[in-house]
A and B are shown apart, each in its own frame.
Chain A
């Protein structure tokens, strides 16, 4: 069974801080994704990666960056956290280069920026 692990379940950070959200998957999946989940808005894609050191912007990349130095790890970085980035952040992975592979999600990190 695929396991996607997000390092923190809850985080509280101050405005202006640099925040790192870490995600690790254990099934050698090529594709990894970062979404944020907000009530009524569903999941919105921030960034995704199809390979090591490769990244693509999603629908809402502003204020975020990512890093994928190893295949199993995909990090989301908030360069200078702001209150409007308070949200639930979900990491996901999928197998293969095709566009029809189901996503496997982590449990999420609930980030509060004060």
Chain B
């Protein structure tokens, strides 16, 4: 079964600091990769996704993620965080050989200090 690991459970940054959240997955076949975000009191929403092509994916609000196949990783980055980026971030993976089910990581809580 596929699994997704997010190694940082809690991250605290000051505004303008750079952000990188790690995501590693276990499945070796064809995968789709996603980052979802949940702002306080709001529903989960899609931040960005990778299906194929350019491994550097740009999403909303200045976020980007890089798919590195050899490392089974899909890390999320932002050069300069804002207080409004305070949220919980979830990495997720699915593949056609795993029953199409989306597997989520444990989530990373990001707090940005003003």
Q: Assess whether A107 is interfacial by the CB under 8 Å rule.
A: yes
What distance in Å separates the Cβ of B47 from its nearest Cβ neighbour in chain A? 10
1/0 contact string of B86-101 vs chain A (CB within 8 Å)? 0000101011100111
B90 and A45 within 8 A (CB): no
Q: Are A105 and B107 in contact (CB under 8 A)?
A: no
The answer to whether A105 and B102 have CB atoms under 8 Å apart is: no
Q: Which bracket fits the contact residues of A?
A: 20 to 34
- Interface pair B96/A42, CB less than 8 Å apart: no
**Cα–Cα distance between A69 and B45 once the two chains are bound (Å):** 27
Q: How many A-B residue pairs have CB under 8 A?
A: 56
Instruction: For residue A105, give the distance in angstroms from its CB to the closest CB of chain B.
Output: 4
B106 touching A99, Cβ below 8 Å:
no
Complex contacts, A41 vs chain B, CB 8 Å: 106
Name the interface residues of A53-74: CB closer than 8 Å to any CB of B.
Answer: 56, 58-59
Contact with A along B43-78 (1 / 0, CB 8 A): 111100101000000000000000000000000000
Q: How far is the CA of A107 from the CA of B42 in the complex (A)?
A: 6
A93 CB to closest chain B CB, in angstroms? 12
User: Which B residues contact A (CB, under 8 angstroms)?
Assistant: 1, 4, 6, 9, 32, 34, 36, 42-46, 49, 51, 90, 92, 94-96, 99-107
